[in-house]
Amino acid sequence: MTHLNKVAQTLAETGYLQTVRGRFGGLRLARPAEAIRLGQVVLATEPDFQIAPCMSPTNAECPIYGPCVLREALDQATQAFVRELDRWTLSDLVKHRRKLLTAIGS
């Protein structure tokens, strides 16, 4: 539950969620679902998103860090992954809401 609270706090801080206090409080979207791009949400919740730990300059202890070509390939793959996610919105994920709710037993 702690991890979920941290994610919700991050999403609120970055303007994706709005927190509501009080008896009927909770969380709600701060933007229309059609305006929430999945790639941007990934980057907001995982600011150091990397396919491999060696991609970060702080992990430059690898003896081939400087001339390594794999890091560049992984970096480009990461960028392509985020671009692909950005083609999708939150609204796209819940288009078949009734089928989703039936599948989870609601």
In the chain, % of residues over pLDDT 70: 95
Q: Taking the CB of residue 86, how many other CB atoms lie within 10 A of it? A: 15
pLDDT at 51: 79
Q: b/e for 7-45, b at 16 or more Cβ within 10 A?
A: ebebbeeeebbeeeeeeeeeeeeeeeeeebbbbbbebbe
Same domain as 69, residue 26? no
Same domain as 26, residue 43? no
Q: What stretches in the chain show pLDDT beneath 70? A: 57-60
Number of domains observed in the structure of the chain:
2
pTM (predicted TM-score) = 0.77
Torsional sign, CA 30, 9, 99, 105: negative
Same domain as 101, residue 85? yes
pLDDT at 61: 74
Cα distance between residue 3 and residue 56, in whole Å: 23
The residue range of the domain holding 12 is 1-30
Same domain as 99, residue 79? yes
Reduce the DSSP state of residue 46 to 3 states and report it. coil
Same domain as 41, residue 22? no
Cα distance between residue 83 and residue 73, in whole Å: 15
Same domain as 58, residue 20? no
Same domain as 65, residue 24? no
pLDDT at 12: 95
pLDDT at 43: 93
Same domain as 22, residue 62? no
